[in-house]
């Protein structure tokens, strides 16, 4: 059995009340930028384990002909090159984890989380395909803590992803993003939340800010909620510090990778809020048109 945990990445925030002086401005770029660090890129290289990356597959410039977006007839090796896990909503489930195509991911009550063990094999795995990744592959995370993501060796030798220790699966009858046809099947299958619990439709409670979070140096902004940079005209862009940086355009979710202060107006003016990690929907935090500027440092 193989399992790996790394440092936390949780959706945390708290109100910021200190006014800032001496704010200078610059504008956000228009092209997506990778959010991974050299440490993340090197992770797993020595032992062949998959590596965890902050941000979406697209913002990390993953090959969109492979991984979660590979054609159905693609070889297993091509499909297993990368997986995206994204905190989102699907049907009445909010939050729930979805993959790079937006398909709902599930957990199975007959599995175990401590230790992680999949008990869905054979015909079960045809109905409930396990979410697997190649050794040395990549896992992209938005809205999910790295500490809650791991891997378990299946009976057939494949590496299956776990969330909160629970092996995760797709449901063969789910065809479109937002489908939740697997919810409650047999009284044992449930959508999985970003921390591994059963997704039962209850609204999430916002946690407190992480006081130990260091300052962010780079923030990836998504024009769609739930880190959506793939549907319609949605896209992601990168903004870097230091100091006050103006945001041009409307961006509704973000991945900061540290502590950053959001301001409602350009020039770091108006109302402010400190966030320390991924935010699925800034409108819920009092920014109906997204932040007007960010302060790094």
Q: Count CB neighbours of 159 within 10 A.
A: 25
Contacts of 288 (CB under 8 A, 6+ apart): none
Q: Of 49-53, 117-121, 201-205, which gets the smallest average pLDDT?
A: 201-205
Average pLDDT, stretch 125-136? Answer: 98
**β-strands 93-98, 82-90: how paired?**
antiparallel
Give the H/E segment covering residue 41: helix 38-42
Radius of gyration of the chain (CA): 19
In this predicted structure, what is the pLDDT of residue 31?
A: 41
Q: What residue segments make up the domains of the chain, in order of their start?
A: 37-191
pLDDT band at 184 (very low <50, low <70, confident <90, very high): very high
| CA angle (276 as vertex; 275, 282 as ends), nearest 5 | 35
Contacts of residue 48, defined as CB under 8 A and 6 or more positions apart, other chains included, come to 135, 136
Query: What does the block give as tokens for 60?
Result: 């990390």
CA–CA dist 282, 74 (Å, integer): 37
Residue 42's pLDDT is what?
41
Whole-prediction pTM: 0.83
Q: For residue 54, what are the β-bridge partners?
A: 141
Counting DSSP H helices and E strands in the chain, the numbers are 3, 20
- pLDDT tens, position by position, 52-73: 999 999 999 999 999 999 999 9
Euclidean distance between CA atoms 60 and 31, whole angstroms: 11
Partners of 112 in the beta sheet?
Answer: 117
**pLDDT at res. 206:** 61
């Amino acid at each position: 059995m193989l399992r790996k945990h790394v440092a936390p990445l949780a959706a945390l925030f708290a109100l910021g009340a200190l006014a800032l002086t001496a704010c200078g401005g610059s504008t956000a770029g228009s092209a997506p930028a990778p959010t991974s660090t050299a440490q993340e890129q090197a992770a797993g290289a020595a032992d062949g384990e998959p590596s965890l990356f902050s941000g979406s597959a697209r913002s990390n410039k993953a090959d969109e002909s492979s991984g979660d977006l590979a054609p159905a007839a693609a070889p297993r090796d091509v499909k297993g090159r990368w997986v995206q896990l994204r905190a989102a909503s699907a049907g009445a489930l909010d939050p729930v984890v979805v993959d790079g195509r937006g398909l709902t991911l599930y957990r199975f009550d007959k599995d175990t989380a401590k230790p992680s063990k999949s008990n869905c094999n054979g015909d079960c795995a045809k109905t409930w395909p396990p979410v697997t990744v190649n050794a040395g592959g990549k896992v992209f995370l938005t809205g999910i803590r790295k500490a809650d993501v791991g891997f378990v060796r299946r009976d057939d030798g494949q590496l299956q992803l776990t969330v909160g220790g629970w092996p995760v699966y797709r449901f063969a009858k789910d065809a479109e993003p937002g489908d939740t046809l697997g919810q409650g099947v047999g009284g044992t299958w449930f959508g999985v939340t970003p921390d591994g619990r059963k997704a039962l439709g209850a609204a999430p409670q916002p946690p407190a800010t992480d006081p130990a979070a260091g300052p962010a140096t780079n923030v990836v902004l998504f024009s769609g909620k739930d880190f959506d940079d793939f549907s319609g005209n949605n896209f992601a862009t990168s903004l870097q510090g230091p100091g006050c940086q103006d945001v041009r355009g409307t961006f509704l979710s973000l991945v900061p990778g540290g502590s950053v202060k959001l301001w409602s107006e350009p020039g770091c003016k108006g109302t402010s809020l400190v966030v320390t990690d991924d935010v699925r929907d800034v409108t819920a935090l009092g920014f109906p048109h997204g932040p007007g500027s960010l302060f790094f440092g």
